[in-house]
Each structure stands twice: as structure tokens, then as C-alpha cells.
Amino acid sequence: MTNRIAQLRKERGLSQAELAEAVDVTRQTIISLENGRYNASLLLAHKIARYFGMTIEEVFLFDEEESK
């Protein structure tokens, strides 16, 4: 799974700290998500998507072969 968080954030001229505050997590969490260290929880994914005015599937991209 990959995500478009960094891209969407930059398009809107936001720092990681600003996005983190907006969705109520720490800056480390945003860094880890952007750098692919782990996946967001369903709730956090929803908050991020909602913040960008998009659906979860538009922000988080699921590879086809992805099994688990």
C-alpha cells in the first residue's frame, strides 16, 4: 500500500507539523506514514482523507497483488 499524503500536503503548502495537528496525531506519525514505515489506522486514514476533501481510496493506493 502506498499513499499520496506528502504530495497532497505539499500541493496545499502545509508542513508536516500543520497536517499532524489538523488530524490530531504527532509529527512523527505523519513522517512515518509519508515514508512508508507503516500504514495508517482506518480512523486516521479517514481523518486524513476527509481533511483533504477526498475518499480514503483516493489518498491511499492499494496494490492489486496486495495479499496482506
Partner DNA sequence: TATATTTGTAAAGCGAGCTTTACTTTTCAA
Partner DNA sequence: TTGAAAAGTAAAGCTCGCTTTACAAATATA
Instruction: Identify the residue whose cell numbers are 515514508.
Output: 35
Residue 28: contacted member of DNA, a copy of itself, none (CB under 5 to 8 Å, by partner type): DNA
Contact set for DNA, span 38-57 (CB under 7 A): 38-44
Alpha-carbon distance of 31 to 5, in angstroms, equals 10
- 14: how many CB neighbours lie within 10 A of its CB? 17
Instruction: Look at the block and give the residue holding cell 512523527.
Output: 28
Asked if 40 interacts with a copy of itself (CB under 8 A), we say yes
Q: Which residues bind a copy of itself (CB under 8 A)?
A: 1, 24, 39-43, 45-46, 55-57, 60, 62, 66-68
